[in-house]
Chain A
Amino acid sequence: AQRVTQPEKLLSVFKGAPVELKCNYSYSGSPELFWYVQYSRQRLQLLLRHISRESIKGFTADLNKGETSFHLKKPFAQEEDSAMYYCALDTDKLIFGTGTRLQVFP
């Protein structure tokens, strides 16, 4: 079955602390994975794609096929990173996880 799992509904950290938002997937094919972000009162938007292997706003995500994971990481969290984060798997359509709310306290 095609599935995306985000085990944490809420992740709270202090400013400057490292952040890791977990994402695991289940897919028999070659996965294409993405992270989306929704800031307060803003629209859901694409944050990054695994295939581009780039860092966006200090965030990176590495696809680990052995562990079927695509965790989102940032070494030093900022208050403006507080948002809802969704991991998504692209099959012939996007399958989203349940999301993790990141709260960064000052």
Chain B
Amino acid sequence: DAGVIQSPRHEVTEMGQEVTLRCKPISGHDYLFWYRQTMMRGLELLIYFNNNVPIDDSGMPEDRFSAKMPNASFSTLKIQPSEPRDSAVYFCASSLTGASYEQYFGPGTRLTVT
């Protein structure tokens, strides 16, 4: 298994543009998590899904952010419109059970908004 797959690995965009980040969880994992990593705030949970249903989106910073999981093998995190302060590394993780620590992380997407 290739583990959690994220694309793109790097994204550079201009302020105001729409950005879509993609994640493919490990097959069979029922939980999917989106995190944002910044120098100032470290790793923050944005949202997580269980069986494709969003369970907790309290970490989503504002309405510009949205996440979907149309099926068990794919999720997107969209930012529209993007702003320079959104620049960060975005991680996706998946887990088989609800035990939070048993998460497998993807390689991350480094987003730069200019």
Contact = CB atoms under 8 A, between A and B. Distances in A.
Interface in B29-78: 35, 39-45, 48, 56
Given A43-B3, A44-B91, A94 B41 contact: no
B42 A97 contact: yes
A46 B101 contact: yes
Q: How many residues of B sit at the interface, in one of the four size bands?
A: 20 to 34
A96 B44 contact: yes
Interface residues of A, number: 20
B105 interface: yes
Nearest to A41: B107
Contacts, number: 49
A45 to B, nearest CB: 7
Interface stretch (A14-22, A54-62, A63-71, A85-93): A85-93
B42 A96 contact: yes
A34 interface: yes
B30 to A, nearest CB: 15
Given A43-B105, A44-B91, A93 B100 contact: yes
B97 to A, nearest CB: 13
B42 A94 contact: no
Contacts of A49: 101
A86 B43 contact: yes
A90 B101 contact: yes
20 contacts: A9-B39, A34-B101, A43-B4, A43-B104, A43-B107, A44-B91, A44-B105, A46-B101, A88-B101, A90-B100, A90-B101, A93-B48, A93-B100, A94-B101, A95-B45, A96-B35, A96-B44, A96-B45, A98-B39, A98-B42
Interface of A: 6, 9, 32, 34, 43-46, 49, 86, 88, 90, 92-99
